[in-house]
Structure 1
């Protein structure tokens, strides 16, 4: 029987994910092996380089680095940073943890949420001070359910810029070797301990390693796994990285690792139909709203872009119409690379009045005008609007702008259970020796489904666990290098 491609494998697939060290010959050795060159893997490599002079090897199966981090805004939430204090924000990690847990109805592991929130300021200060990474506090808007300004953004509020700086630091660090086009295909184990991996695109090599960090992201790009675990969003547009095929999760499961929240995912409600550009949710949180083709509001946009994604998918044609005005357009222009790219691609239409805009977009003009009037009236009277929204609103005035958008699947949030150091836990509560995971390979902090995702949760676990795993893996190398 033919071996299924990585992107088609499921947890139930019989294809071996782990080979015994007695059945292979080690071709080359390294100290810390990192599978995946996205945000998790690059941060893990830099953290490991802080603690060892040994060799750190990063293997990326794609031709480019970044994974889902490069597709995101690159905004990293953190509580208690000096950047917050400089503008008068006094926030404790407990405040950030409270927001996360309230968003997911306390379905996430509370201890892990608190741990990552406590470590969040250390992550930001370490990136900026030790590695000269550009991160600036975003204090001009808040994402839904954030009680304070805590997003720290790279240049252009674009994850590609964050990845570019991380990769430059990687290339300048002599102890780190980085290989692209080199997918890890299996882990190598000696009993219950991981001792390396099999990797290679056209010619496989067996790489021995004292520590292995799984940074291969989630399984949103694996249609079979999505249908099995996140069926409600399976038919939506996929907007994530091609490398999200669930590799690390399957490898860990083959070693009896515990899995959690496999039905959890991050969706996005405003991907522009036709151009495929991401219409930043800052449009919504600065006062924009959505209607369906009948011109009617259908969901509270303030619950967040992930929770709203499914509402959009459930509309006729799986589309909605984003309505905003010139004030918002001018405010965001030049602030978000995503927005500027969407503008350059012709994603937005404009008109001097709402009826003309609706006609251009394809939604009912009269009902859309009624929705706008009702929305503005609710703001003037300081009352919840037709969908119960009270946050992030502003009166919209002509001229108006809009786009036709669809709901999408960005990345999954379920995966391997890890401890406070990022070590993979087994179903019996012990750890898999020498094995770590972060980012989409590890279970997130969003609970179940899509509604528990709070903006920034993805990078909180990707970069947070990446740093913790890299530090611990390097500091516990057998020979102390």
Structure 2
């Protein structure tokens, strides 16, 4: 049957070529196109009547996410000898960029692009035969929490498999800045900064408006430093020799991974998982938890071509993330979070794990608390890492009228709400060349930076008047705001908004102005767990064999999560879940 399917596919391709009279100028051609964040360059080898080979030779998009379309799209084009290819879910920008780049190369080779687009990929046949797998532990979700839980379970002697519905691992961790809040960390010690686990705990509680489960918040605060050390020393995550001061924290305590990106975390976690022999099954969507004798013993899953049953002797860990990309679910719990608000989340963050738990009686909490991130792309909602200059102390946030309107290091929800109240629902982040150089933002996020400049969302100007003109900001008030702020830096006290952190003068041209808007970033609600990461039912009883970690859980951050607490959260509770599912009886 498989051989017959290959023959039919080959006949389809040849027939399509003959019908469209495909003919090329033989040779090897380079094609370029824009991807999601950066440029993509491909090399296409053509014979007289065939696309012989496709290689992606450079790619400016997010690593790991873009690896999936790089692996899949060229292969599909070669299989059908056409361009009618579906994008890889969650990596649409890169997928389309590759297709455009291939098209541009074929154009140089005199190919008929219009006809090639008519040749569509053949959908694979679906089999209802159930494929069975047996393991000690099954983890749902290959994001940060899932991979950490899997590694800890493996380190404690379990045979572990991870299933992930997307064609790439990483979840929201991958596209995050990867910063990690840890009290009493090594950078604080170098700088002589005073901090404590108790201070961190109080910040978590205060930042969540006293709505957190105090027991869970205490677990996070007490274990955050050990989690950071584990990532550094056992997973080999490289942290830079600097910290960030995130809004809502009372002290600078947020460690920064190499490249200021979650890519460093996922890259090292995947490497460790592979070293330990942990299988990660991509494109595999968990659809139902399996129970036997009142205990969770596995999960039913679905791929593009088959049904699967993953039986787990010890149980299942749900680590599938929140529901920031599920519009209907957002509106169900908070009507304000509708289609008017964009999302920073990856496409796969749709609340699947929460629904799986609810279907067997798991309790949920805090579902109405949905956080927006203030510094996002006003067009597509993506989180803007170029805007991290705000966290270094000098950048100011102004409105169309050129006036500051909120403390730049306030909580995310407070800044986001303040921005929505301004003219056009946007704000403008302003900084200078010295701060750009000191933060290394341009170096770490080069593709994003250049893309924003090209699109006019970020401008580099010699004078504030030029920047004001580009965005139609009141130039007089903008200059006045900068002048007042510079005055505050000399006394060290912000008389308007009592800004935390160091105040650094804005006086080294060129200047930069970035247009920003809030977008949905984190859902605080989710499955109810206890301090051992066990999922609880509506009566507060443990559901045997079911654990959860990461954004799929609730009640840790209350109404609002402080910046850089998410990576601490997934590390602390991912490790707890991975250990306890093996050792708890």
Q: Report the TM-score when normalising by structure 1.
A: 0.87
SS state of the match for residue 284, structure 2?
A: coil
Change over 3 Å in CA distance of 1:98–1:335 after alignment to 2: farther
SS state of the match for residue 177, structure 2?
A: coil
Asked whether the equivalents of residues 61 and 180 of structure 1 are also in contact (C-alpha less than 8 Å), the reply is: yes
SS state of the match for residue 453, structure 1?
A: coil
Q: Distance in 1 between the 2:414 and 2:548 partners?
A: 26
Deviation at 1:104, TM superposition (A): 2.0
Total equivalences in the alignment? 448
Q: Mean alpha-carbon deviation: is it higher for 225-234 or for 68-77?
A: 225-234
Other-structure match for 1:409:
520
Other-structure match for 1:96:
200
Counterpart among 261, 265, 282 of residue 162 in structure 1? 265
Other-structure match for 1:112:
216
CA deviation map 1:229-276 (0-9, x unaligned): 233343222111111111111121222222111122332111233585
Please tell me whether residue 472 in structure 1 is matched to residue 472 in structure 2.
no
Q: Distance in 1 between the 2:172 and 2:413 partners?
A: 15
Q: Distance in 2 between the 1:269 and 1:66 partners?
A: 23
Change over 3 Å in CA distance of 1:72–1:277 after alignment to 2: closer
SS state of the match for residue 296, structure 2?
A: strand
Other-structure match for 1:371:
481
Counterpart among 488, 505, 509 of residue 395 in structure 1? 505
Asked whether the equivalents of residues 388 and 441 of structure 2 are also in contact (C-alpha less than 8 Å), the reply is: no
Other-structure match for 1:187:
289
Other-structure match for 1:14:
none
Counterpart among 291, 309, 320 of residue 427 in structure 2? 320
SS state of the match for residue 189, structure 1?
A: strand
Please tell me whether residue 198 in structure 1 is matched to residue 300 in structure 2.
yes
Q: Distance in 1 between the 2:379 and 2:439 partners?
A: 21
SS state of the match for residue 362, structure 2?
A: coil
Please tell me whether residue 434 in structure 1 is matched to residue 545 in structure 2.
yes
Change over 3 Å in CA distance of 1:267–1:110 after alignment to 2: same
Other-structure match for 1:69:
173
Other-structure match for 1:50:
155
Q: Distance in 2 between the 1:393 and 1:103 partners?
A: 22
Deviation at 1:190, TM superposition (A): 2.3
Q: Mean alpha-carbon deviation: is it higher for 162-171 or for 192-201?
A: 192-201
Deviation at 1:189, TM superposition (A): 1.7
CA deviation map 1:93-135 (0-9, x unaligned): 1121112112223221111111111111221222222232223
The within-5 A match list for 1:158-307 is 158-174=261-277, 176-202=278-304, 203-210=306-313, 211-234=315-338, 235-274=340-379, 276=382, 278-285=384-391, 286-307=393-414
Q: Distance in 1 between the 2:520 and 2:485 partners?
A: 28
Change over 3 Å in CA distance of 1:104–1:367 after alignment to 2: same
Other-structure match for 1:349:
459
Q: Mean alpha-carbon deviation: is it higher for 361-370 or for 467-476?
A: 361-370
Change over 3 Å in CA distance of 1:439–1:208 after alignment to 2: same
Asked whether the equivalents of residues 163 and 281 of structure 2 are also in contact (C-alpha less than 8 Å), the reply is: yes
Other-structure match for 1:13:
none
Q: Distance in 2 between the 1:90 and 1:299 partners?
A: 27
Q: Distance in 1 between the 2:489 and 2:398 partners?
A: 17
Q: Distance in 2 between the 1:83 and 1:299 partners?
A: 29
Q: Distance in 1 between the 2:131 and 2:290 partners?
A: 10
SS state of the match for residue 133, structure 1?
A: coil
Deviation at 1:142, TM superposition (A): 1.4
Deviation at 1:309, TM superposition (A): 1.9
SS state of the match for residue 551, structure 2?
A: helix
Deviation at 1:82, TM superposition (A): 4.7
Change over 3 Å in CA distance of 1:225–1:405 after alignment to 2: same
Asked whether the equivalents of residues 137 and 160 of structure 2 are also in contact (C-alpha less than 8 Å), the reply is: yes
RMSD: 2.4
Deviation at 1:185, TM superposition (A): 1.2
Change over 3 Å in CA distance of 1:169–1:424 after alignment to 2: same
Q: Distance in 1 between the 2:197 and 2:241 partners?
A: 16
Asked whether the equivalents of residues 139 and 317 of structure 2 are also in contact (C-alpha less than 8 Å), the reply is: yes
Deviation at 1:472, TM superposition (A): 0.8
